[in-house]
Amino acid sequence: MFASTIENHVVESLPQVELKGHINLVSTRSQVEHAARYLSRQPVLGFDTETKPRFSSGRMYMPALLQFSDGVSSYLIHLKKTGLPQEIVAILCDPAIIKVGAAVRDDIAGLQRYAPFEPAGFVDLQDMVQEYGIVEKSVKKMSAIILGKRISKSQQVTNWEAFPLSGAQALYAATDAYVCYSIYNKLIAHNSEKKSPRQRMYEEILVSAASLLKDEPDLVANMANVSALIKETFKFWWVGFYRIDNKSRELVLGPFQGPLACTRIPFGRGVCGTCWKQRKTIIVPDVEKFPGHIACSSRSRSEIVVPLFDKKGELIAVLDIDSEKTGTFDQMDSRYLEELAGLFKNIY
Ligand code: SME
């Protein structure tokens, strides 16, 4: 399973990507013909462009380089020498040749300044990774998470209109297309790890909650924002925390989102009190079938309650979520919500 995010220092510790195969430089008519013949036979191509950086405001330069990689050979097309040749436009418009890149809309818009064309068969890794619960969008971080490899960005801001390119520039440009190709292939091979939209929403909640809790030490403030995060994401009927009051042996209503709720629940009573007593997540598919369920609202039909522990393993609160529909929650919800509850444990 792929991680949803990765920290910079972890990326920097990874081994560097090694480009496989040959780099073909394309600047003449016969080289264009050779490249187009080869590339048009490939089902999948990594794709990227490079544009000379502009340091003052104003219109961007036209892309100087168009790169393709089929994982074996890389082709660097010097657009300043070749223009955008018709044979290459045919590849960019062929729905049967998958072109894989990152933020491809920008590359396409740049290429369309050479010649108008109707792009087809493009896959944007920034969209594709979301299906796997990956939140990162930069090629560097996607490469780190998916390939376990680091790509160097040291050549990114160089003069891409130079001819000939330096060896380091050619290697960088080819590697970018190669990495896009490799990421795509690996994702396809791990097709079964795609996440449902609901899982992806939980992954995003976890990332947001981790960053909220990292910056704020106050328990109530964090509970307030986390309940808002869940409520806003899923639109559940009621989301909130009950905190343990050891003196009265009661749960006391904490930060929540939704309609008014009961303020105190004794130990062992209702779903929340049972969660406290059993120290584990309770899923209630139908509240009418749970003996002792406390109906704060007649609209609540199913419920999940997750315990929150502190560092010492003491139970400090429960997170309660109510749905207006029966059977809303299952093991997937409990897995993610327990992970969310675990973020509090790291802090308190
Ligand atoms: N139904 C809960 C009480 C809390 S409310 O749903 C907000 C229970 O049985 O513990």
pLDDT tens profile 126-141: 999 999 989 999 999 9
User: Measured between alpha carbons, how far is residue 264 from residues 245, 246, 267 in Å?
Assistant: 9, 12, 10
Q: How many CA atoms lie within 13 A of 77 on its CB side?
A: 28
Q: Which protein residues touch ligand 1 with a CB less than 6 Å away?
A: 238, 261-262, 265, 270-272, 293-294, 296, 300, 303, 320, 322
**CA-300 nearest atom, ligand 1:** 6
Residue ID of nearest Cα to ligand 1 atom 5: 296
pLDDT tens profile 259-302: 999 999 999 999 999 999 999 999 999 999 999 999 988 899 99
Cα(245) to ligand 1 centroid in Å equals 16
* Domains contained in the chain, CATH given: 8-193 (3.30.420.10), 197-345 (3.30.450.40)
pLDDT tens profile 172-204: 999 999 999 999 999 999 998 888 889 989 989
pLDDT at 348 over 80: no
The b-or-e profile of 119-138 (16+ CB within 10 A means b, else e) is: bebbbbbbebbbbbbbbbbe
Q: How confident is the model at residue 239 (pLDDT cuts 50, 70, 90)?
A: very high
**CA-265 nearest atom, ligand 1:** 10
Dist CA 70 CA 78 (whole Å): 18
Query: The tokens of 223 are what?
Result: 């509970």
The pLDDT, as a whole number, for residue 58 is 75
- Using a pLDDT cut of 70, give the percent of the chain over it: 99
pLDDT at 321 over 90: yes
Q: Are 54 and 61 in contact (CB under 8 A)?
A: yes
Cα(269) to ligand 1 centroid in Å equals 9
pLDDT tens profile 5-55: 999 999 999 999 999 889 999 999 999 999 999 999 999 999 999 999 987
Pocket probe mutation, ligand 1, options 299, 302, 322, max atoms within 8 Å of Cβ = 322
